[in-house]
Every structure is written in C-alpha cells, then in structure tokens.
Structure 1
Amino acid sequence: MFLAVPGVSHAAGEGDFLKGLQGAYSGQGTVRLRTNSSTIKVNCTFNATSSATTLSLNGRCRGLVLVSRSVGADLKVSGTRYSGTYTGARSGPAALSGTRRGNALRLAIRWAKPLNGDRDATLLVNRVGQRGLTLTITDRDPASGKTVVTSNIALQRK
C-alpha cells in the first residue's frame, strides 16, 4: 500500500522499492527467440544493485548446451517515471521507459532494430514476496497480431 505523506516525495517510495530488489538471484524460465518459435528452457543468475534513483540488473541465462546470453537492464527513476537501457537482445541495446504500479515495473521496450515485425515490446519486472522476482517480456506476433510471452524468468534471491 502506498500512502501519501506531506513532505515525502515519490522518489522516496521508489527508492525503497528499488532497494528492496537488491541482491543475487537465480532461477529458471523459458525464452522464445521469435514469437513463432518453440520455447527454450533456461537457467539464469542475476545480480541487482540499486540506489534511491537507479536499478541495475545484470545476468546470464543458459539453455541447452549452446545457448548462453548476457542480459541486463539499467534504469533511472525521475519522479515516478523510469527510463533506461535493456541489453541482451539480438538487435542491440533497447530503450526502456515506464512506471511502477505496486510491486511491478511495466516498461515499454523500443528495440534498436525490428524484432518480430516491429520495434515494440513490453518488459514486466515483478517483485514477488520478499525474495522473488519475475522478468517477463511480451511481444506482438506479426502473423496473428496476438501478444506472445517471449521470455518468462522466475528468480529467487539467494
């Protein structure tokens, strides 16, 4: 629950949220290289560092024997707006922008080059309880127009 207190900025609330994400995480999930491809099971490790106005998520996900990719997000908060960069996409670094609602950051992704027919997708960073974190990317399938989960990773703080 968020309470408005006179003299306390939203940044203080955002800072508390960001600090609550700090730590080393590990977990697993699924990734699709394209909206129409099969899922690949992955195991991931992430390290989250933060300040009152920044969050940095850096990790590596491995699937099968040959698939390994470094992924990350660097975010800054100004008021209640988040912006930053996502790394790990095959198109290159992507721009992130969005807001927080409760325990979730909802971030629009703007890919460096078209992926799955356009340059837009969504990243949801969701804090689950005291130790959990889920990272979910959704994108629009160009053939069907439907929203497809292209990455869904469930992490637990070590």
Structure 2
Amino acid sequence: MRKIHGLSGALAAAAFLATGLSAFAQTSYFDRFNGNWSGGGSVRLDTMPAPVNVSCDAAGARTKANAFSLNARCRAMLVFSREFGADLSRDPKGGAYTGVYRGAKSGPARLSGQRKDSTLDLQVTWGREIYGDNKARMLIRHEGGNTFSIQVIDQIDGKPVIVSDLSFERS
C-alpha cells in the first residue's frame, strides 16, 4: 500500500472518506424502503365529496445502486381498488431525484425534486390537468424505523389540499 504524504495526501484521503460515507448514507436511505409494507389513510377521489379511507399493501425494492421502486395497491369501500407505484433514481453528482409515478388516472406522472433530511420533496407533473393544472407536490417521509408516509398536495380553488395521505408500517 502506498503511503500518503503531506496536506494533499490528507485532503485526498478526506475526500475519499467523505465520498465513501456519502455513498453509504445514500445506500442506507434507499434500503429503508426494501420489503413489504401495509397501511392506509385517506384519498380524495374526484367522484366523492369527501376523502375516503383506504387500506394498502406495498412492496419496495432497490433496483440499482441509486434507484428504488415502490409498488402498492389500495382498497376502499369493497368496490374501489387501485394500483400505484413510483420508480425513483438519484443523480449521484447533484443529488436530484427524478422518476415516474404510476397509477394516476391521467397516466404516468413525472417526479423531480430533492431530499431534505428524511423527506423526499417531489414535484409531480401529471399527464393532464387535474384540479385546474398539471402540478402537485409529493412528500415521502421515512425517518428510520419501520414506518413511512406519502402525502400528495394539490392546489384546489387556489388552496393547498392534501389529496392523498397514506402511512405504512413494515409487515
């Protein structure tokens, strides 16, 4: 093994260590979503005057070093069932997250955003207008442990409204 000398060697070693720790921290974050989950919450359906309660099952898996996929199915009122999911990847250089949300009636939606601590803060661009525009916000929170949540917030009549609020527990 080659000996590192002087300040430049110390800086190189520090940079290598920081890069390795950053990759480890990111890997740990993606790994939080691996496995099977169950839960539920409320979802606003355009055909209903008030949000409905749903129960859900989900499965998460890393698909690459900087990517993961989440697939879920929610049920309500014995007649409603919808599959949805998200495929997200992280740019290792800039840290931006991009991906696709599947399951919206408008077709696949684009996701883009950043991670702030334990929350992915994503802009959703729907395939067509919903509630007067094609934009919304999705927050995926995972603070460690065996729970995480997903909220979708949309502008309705000029006010932010939580249109989906789901919490999951590892099953």
**TM-score over 0.5 for the alignment?**
yes
**1:87-128: CA deviations, max 9, x gaps?**
111100000001111111111000000011100001111014
Runs of 4+ with deviation above 4 angstroms: none
Give 1:26's aligned residue: 38
Q: Greater relative contact order: 1 or 2 (C-alpha under 8 angstroms, separation 6 or more)? A: 1
Structure 1: stretches of 5+ with no match in the other structure: none
Give 1:83's aligned residue: 98
Q: CA RMSD, aligned part only?
A: 1.7
Quote the Cα distance in structure 2 between the aligned partners of 1:11 and 1:61: 33
- State the shift of 1:6 in Å: 2.6
Give 1:47's aligned residue: 59
Q: Are 1:6 and 2:15 matched, yes or no?
A: yes
Corresponding residue pairs, total: 152
Amino acid at match of 2:79: L
Of the structure 1 ranges 55-64 and 15-24, higher mean CA displacement relative to structure 2 is found in: 15-24
Quote the Cα distance in structure 1 between the aligned partners of 2:102 and 2:45: 15
Quote the Cα distance in structure 1 between the aligned partners of 2:160 and 2:85: 23
- State the shift of 1:11 in Å: 4.2
Give 2:6's aligned residue: none
Whether the 8 Å contact between 1:12 and 1:52 is mirrored in structure 2 is: no
Q: Secondary structure at the match of 1:33?
A: coil
Aligned match for 2:124, one of 104, 109, 121: 109
Q: Which has the larger radius of gyration?
A: 2
Aligned match for 2:136, one of 97, 121, 130: 121
Give the structure with the higher percent helix: 2
Q: Are 1:93 and 2:108 matched, yes or no?
A: yes
Output the TM-score relative to the length of structure 1. Answer: 0.90
- State the shift of 1:16 in Å: 1.7
Quote the Cα distance in structure 2 between the aligned partners of 1:138 and 1:52: 29
Structure 2: stretches of 5+ with no match in the other structure: 1-13
Give the structure with the higher percent strand: 1
Over the matched positions of the two proteins, sequence identity in percent amounts to: 33
